Amino acid sequence: MLVLLFCAWSVSAQDVVPMGPAVLVADDIQITTDRRLIATGNVEAFQGQTRMTAQAIAYNPDTGRLTITGPISIGDGTGLRLLADQADLSDDMQNGLLLGARLVLNEQLQLAAVQANRVNGRYTELYKTVATSCKVCADDPGPPLWQIRAKRVIHDKEAQQIYFDQAQLQVLSIPVFYVPRLRLPDPSVTRTTGFLRPELVLSSLLGTGIKVPYFIALNDSRDLTLSPYLSESTRTLQFRYRELFRRGQIIVEGAVSDDDLLPDETRGYVFAAGRFDLKRDFRLQFDLEWASDDGYLSNYGISGRDRLDSQIQISRARRNEFIRFSYISMESLRDNDTEEVLPSDVLDAVYKRRFFPSVIGGEIRLSTEAHAHERSSAQDLSDAVDARDVLRFNVDAEWLRTFQMGGLQAQTRLGLIAGAYDVSDDITATETESEMSPTAALVLRYPMVKQGKDGARHVLEPIAQLAWIGGDTLSIPNEESTRVEFDEGNLLRLSRFPAPDRRERGWSAAVGATWSRIDQDGWSMSITGAQILREEAQADFTTSSGLSGTSSDFLLSGQVQLQGGLAVSGRTLFDSSLNVTKAELRGFWSYARLGLGGSYIWIDEDPAIDQLDPIGEISWGGSYQINRFWRLSGGMRYDIEEGRTATSSAILEYANECVRLGFNLSRSFASSTTIEPTTSLQVTVTLSGFSANTGERVEVRSCG
């Protein structure tokens, strides 16, 4: 093999101008008497980022042309590769003619042509062209899944665009679409203005329709997507605006509709969200939610939410400090809700701080919170709580210290709670109330570890807490603590109410234990049992909370994780008569190409919180990879007490190197926002090769 370093040059009538160095590698290199260079056998030529391989090259310095015999491969280092049988090119390989040419872009899209012209290294002009990103096998006479045939194709490397003249889209050689002029981005483009994949939508409410999204790249940090949606019953324009800033981002999406469901109204929705990093570690976040009517989001399959909350918040989280200021505006979409009697405006301010005093040791926690909410309803003496507004301010200071005595760990907690409450527009409640309540608690833990003969580790940890909260129960309405849960998370809390407008009072004890087993084979399990005992019953704990009476329901929870991909967790509450008041079971199993997950929830009736009937629901979802290309997924929610399905869906997807197909069938039944069940089928088709590589693994069909 011979290696030759030479200068590629062009010749005029008067002088010779060097064009830059090139490297030529071949099995045999000869220079004739008329200065022609001929290289044969495994020829490779390098110049800048351009690399060419061929069987033979002849260079004529008088004309500055390269005559190349194939098979030829030319790559420019940017993802563009030219293949050809023969070529006549300039000495810098930027201009010339290629016969039997094939242009490959980013290993995704290939364009085969009878001949191709290279112009200034920027344009590649192909004639009688077939374009596809499907795998084409030499021994397979069949057509690709799809192809675009065109009289002429121009690839603009600098603009990263592909222009088609007299283009015809064929699926399995069957013509399905024709357009005189067509422009598409090449695979190296990350953002460009143009059409996105269309969607065919079949809805029992809106009929058969089509969505054609159009993406507008305003600049590198802003874009707008407009999606007209036309069907038998609706004319809708959906939109999405995104902008990225140096210290944050915003996104606004929505739609405007004129449909037959509410023919005399203009319907629509707007969702907006944003996040900005401010100075001194503060963060600004907001989300705005609005819908024209209660059923719009459900009718168009946008969201299943039945309450909207718009919020703006400024917060800062540091190791020993947390600050938050927030405003929330609430709007209900439920048919049986009266908007005027629901708290519509909510203000919150929270400040938390930790100190570690060296004099007394331990940790001091300081928490302050201000809260206000109001209703828009006017005062109505027939229902005195319709217009109730509440303002409160709370301070909680606590000192904690932990002592280790052999294997016994003891934690002491001493604290003081202060609060002031103002209730207006409610003739049944005292206008102002205040409290100053001391707190104390002692928590004992004694973890024990044992290694079995089989190598498994067993951990048993008994837990006990004795707690006391002083002061008297305030005569203020229960606005924020109407739903109480008893679980492992609040077992050792002094008060298990979710908000400060209610507190446990007097003496209480929490006892329980957790046992865990960790096996050498990789599986593990744990079980927790606990109960709360009190000196006096708390009036605001209802039966569904599991905390009513002087003895709470017994809490039993556990989880199992197996090496084979199965994970199950559950918890239940049952009383002294072993009657279950609440149960929850969740599980997930993953094995090979199958993944399944589901949950079961059951809550007993509780008239004290207007829950007149039990609640029971089963939900499941899963996916199965049928083969390398086909994937099936779906899910369902079933209401046990009503004896009917709430929602169900099935999705069938096909994806390979050149096409993506999606079939999404969903069914939603009567809900809190609509009594009309809806069935929807969405069909999406994407031709791969004309978009940026997302990095997602794609199965490529093989030849043979």
What is the pLDDT, as a whole number, of residue 448?
Answer: 94
Q: What is the pLDDT confidence band of residue 610, given thresholds at 50, 70 and 90? A: confident
User: Please, which pLDDT band fits residue 375 given cuts at 50, 70 and 90?
Assistant: confident
Residue 162 resides in a domain:
yes
Comparison of pLDDT for 348 and 65, the residue scoring more: 348
CA nearest to 54, candidates 63, 65, 67: 67
What's residue 299's pLDDT?
A: 87
Task: With cut-offs at 50, 70 and 90, classify the pLDDT of residue 2.
Answer: low
Asked, for residue 320, whether it belongs to a domain, the answer is no
Residue 142 lies in a domain: yes
Taking 70 as the threshold, does the pLDDT of residue 522 lie above it? Answer: yes
Residue 286 above 60 pLDDT? yes
What would the DSSP string read from start to end of 631-700? EEEEEEEEETTTTEEEEEEEEEEEE-SSEEEEEEEEEE---SS-SS-EEEEEEEEEETTSS---------
- Give me the mean pLDDT over the 273-281 stretch: 96
The per-residue pLDDT of the chain, averaged, comes to: 87
C-alpha distances out from residue 649 to 395, 629, 637, 690, Å: 48, 20, 10, 30
Name the nearest CA neighbour of 640 among 601, 605, 668: 601
Q: What is the pLDDT of residue 379?
A: 55
Domain encompassing residue 138: 2-189
Residue that the structure tokens 């908000």 belong to: 499
Contacts of 627 (CB under 8 A, 6+ apart): none
Residue 33 counted as domain residue: yes
474 or 3: which leads in pLDDT: 474
* Rounded Cα–Cα distance for residues 553 and 650 (Å): 40
pLDDT digits (tens, 9 = 90+) for 6-26: 444 333 333 333 444 578 888
Q: Span 43-68, mean pLDDT? A: 86
Q: What is the Cα 85 distance to its own chain's centre?
A: 48
- 146 domain residue, yes or no: yes
| In a domain? residue 116 | yes
Is the pLDDT assigned to residue 128 strictly greater than 60? yes
Q: E strand or H helix at 130, and its extent?
A: strand 123-132
**Mean per-residue pLDDT, 623-649:** 91
pLDDT of 315: 97
Residue 609 phi, psi dihedral angles, 5° rounding: -115, 30
Best mean pLDDT range from 196-200, 231-235, 387-391, 668-672? 231-235
pLDDT at 675: 52
Share of the chain above pLDDT 90, in %: 49
Residue 653 domain-assigned?
A: no
Q: What is the percent of the chain where pLDDT is above 70?
A: 92
Residue 19: per-residue pLDDT: 41
Q: How confident is the model at residue 378 (pLDDT cuts 50, 70, 90)?
A: low
What's the rounded Cα separation, in Å, for the pair 299 and 236?
12
319-347 per-position pLDDT tens digit: 999 999 999 998 888 877 777 778 889 99
- Output the pTM of the full model: 0.79
Choice between 417 and 642, residue whose per-residue pLDDT is larger: 417
In which band, very low, low, confident or very high, does the pLDDT at 691 lie, cut at 50, 70 and 90? low
- pLDDT, position 403: 93
Q: How confident is the model at residue 653 (pLDDT cuts 50, 70, 90)?
A: very high
Query: What is the tally of structural domains in the chain?
Result: 1
Contact 496, 484 (CB under 8 A): yes
pLDDT in tens, 79-103: 888 899 999 988 777 889 999 999 9
What does the alpha-carbon distance between residue 121 and residue 92 come to, in Å, rounded to a whole number? Answer: 9
Could you tell me which residues are beta bridge partners of residue 588? Answer: 567, 597
Residue 94 maps to a domain = yes
Residue with tokens 């298990």: 496
| Spatial contact of 134 and 659, defined as CB atoms under 8 Å apart | yes
Could you tell me which residues are beta bridge partners of residue 603? 582, 615
- Give the pLDDT confidence score for residue 284 in this predicted structure: 97
Residue 146 and residue 169 in contact, taking contact as beta carbons nearer than 8 Å: yes
pLDDT for 15 equals 35
pLDDT of residue 16: 36
Residue 229: pLDDT over 70: yes
pLDDT tens across 161-204, in order? 899 999 999 988 899 889 999 888 888 787 888 888 788 888 88
Q: What is the pLDDT of residue 5?
A: 47
> SS3 string of 373-414?
EEECCCCCCCCCCCCCEEEEEEEEEEEEEEEEECCEEEEEEE
Amino acid at 99: L
| 72 burial type by CB count under 10 A (0-12 exposed, 13-18 middle, 19+ buried) | buried
